[in-house]
Amino acid sequence: MSYTALARKWRPKRFEELTGQEHVLQALSNALATNRVHHAFLFTGTRGVGKTTIARILAKCLNCETGLGPTPCGECATCREIDEGRFVDLIEVDAASRTKVDDTRELLDNVQYAPTRGRYKVYLIDEVHMLSTHSFNALLKTLEEPPPHVKFLLATTDPQKLPVTVLSRCLQFNLKRLSVSLIAERIKTVLDAEGVPYEAAAVRLVAEAADGSMRDGLSLLDQLLAFGGGKVAEAEARTMLATVDRKQVAQLARLLAQLDPAALLAFVSSLDEWAPDYGDVLDALATLLVRVALKQTMPAYEGDELHPAELLAELAGQLAPEDVQLFYQTAILGRRDLAWAPDPRTGFEMTVLRMLAFRPNGSSEGSPTAPVASSARAAVVPSRGGASAGVAASSGAVGGAGPSRAVANGSPQGAAPGVDPARWAETLAALEVGGAARQLAANCVFSSRTGNLVRLTLDPSHQLLRTTALIDKLAQALSRHLGETMRIEVELGSAPVDSPARAEQRAVEEGLDAARRSLEDDAAVRGFKEKFGATLNPDSVKPV
């Protein structure tokens, strides 16, 4: 007995068996239930998402001997013949092989005749965008006003190539790409029904390789069963799909956390012996980093078949959240640039080195230091203009609570420079934070510190900066700076001293005033005024 491919054997025969296209099924079911069925339907979407399958089920619904409705019986002669592809009133046309206008005219010559057996004569035109312009013109009038016993079901993967005149005559349904989880669940259902044991990681790999297509997923499953001798195992799946071992990707992430360029390059050298697709390696690394970021954001996240919770918890503790974001962005950009690299390995090496080179906490004078494994990671503050770069590098720099960790601007160790609100500007200069979060801090004045809680006062004119996201970002930067977990509260109100932003603005204004006074007192300027009646434009004056 001949073997039937899984994609054909498990093709859905009822709307209830379809996966992931509920928005289309609901519209069709309601139309059939209320007998408000349009004469022309257009199903669009990528390959293998169910366009032709939905069209055939709709043809069964229209012609089932038990009556028109959304649930065909599947047992009558009409339903069986449609499933077997031999129902005389279901005319399936492959537009890719019948593009000429003569083919279309021949097809339309029989539209006027009543159906032979069914309730409706159904024309299913697949890949309809392949028809020629003349064929579309010949089809238009019939498509707009067909006889009452005719229904047109059109399917295409490229609706942009269809004339607007055709699109306006059809009800258009866009079928979406299927998610990895939906494809994986369907594959597991098929394997359970077939009695084939499987490894969940192997099913996940096949579902990811399907790229949104259920048919491709089942075809790959057929290939894996043949390759693995009837087994669905992760090792065979990786070999067949030529994907990198997840242990190697996890090791790459661990080496990135250690910030050791020599170890990274040694790993790349050993990886090259397997002749991997370096684009796939970067894709796998980016996928892992996404899961790590989810674990850091939601500690209860349990991962998936390819990324167990234990691995994610390990990497979440080793990698700083900002490093995860940087490594992810560098990986996807490096993936894009691989085609322009001298060779794939060189591009991959440069990508992983770029991850370390662009770290905000890295030292410009040598290799980055290893991170501190704690709940609040200690930051390595780069030099900012000489030996005084470490100002306010103690916990007391923002309040005086906790032990002092550095000497700031000559203050004796153990002093509490943060008791003076004016030192908030020095603390801000040492914080590694930018954008709107720095603007928030610059417009605040230090109020007090109680334990790990820092209170700031924000001028009401900048209250739009007081958002939860910016406050949290500022608190994270302060925590990294002090080496302990800090919380920040921002209150609106006036302060007895200027904020750093206001102090900077005042300094600029004073500099301008001094420059203007200097020009006014200049002998040459006074001479021009006396002899020529010249005037000084104050807006043109800039301090040097």
What CATH number does the domain located at 246-357 have? 1.20.272.10
- Residue 270 has a pLDDT of 86
- Residue 360 has a pLDDT of 66
> DSSP letters along 458-521, please?
E-GGGGGG--HHHHHHHHHHHHHHHTS--EEEEEES--SS--HHHHHHHHHHHHHHHHHHHHHT
Calculate the average pLDDT of the chain: 82
Dump pLDDT digits (tens) for 153-182: 999 999 999 999 999 999 999 999 999 899
- Residue 245 has a pLDDT of 78
Structure tokens at 197: 């044991």
Backbone angles phi, psi at 259, to 5 degrees: 60, 45
- Residue 412 has a pLDDT of 35
How many Cβ atoms sit within 10 Å of the Cβ of residue 158? Answer: 12
Q: Which residues are CB-contacts of 477 (< 8 A; sequence separation ≥ 6)?
A: 431, 432, 433, 437
State the residue for tokens 């054909």.
Answer: 8
Position 281: which residue type?
A: V
β-pairing, 453-458 vs 90-94, is: unpaired
- Residue 34 has a pLDDT of 92
What CATH number does the domain located at 180-241 have? 1.10.8.60
What is the assigned CATH class of domain 6-174? alpha beta
Query: Could you list the mean pLDDT of each consecutive 10-residue stretch along the chain, which spans 544 residues?
Result: 83 89 92 93 92 94 92 91 91 84 83 89 92 88 90 93 92 92 93 91 90 92 90 88 82 89 88 82 92 90 84 89 92 91 91 86 40 35 35 38 37 37 73 82 85 86 83 86 86 79 80 78 76 74 66
The domain spans of the chain are 6-174, 180-241, 246-357, 502-540
The domains spanning 6-174 and 180-241 adopt the same CATH topology: no
Closest Cα to residue 43, out of 155, 167, 190?
Answer: 155
Angle between helices 214-227 and 200-209 (to 10 degrees): 130
Backbone angles phi, psi at 211, to 5 degrees: 55, 50
Q: In Å, what is the CA distance from 521 to each residue of 512, 515, 524?
A: 14, 10, 9
Q: How far apart are CA 176 and CA 289, in angstroms?
A: 26
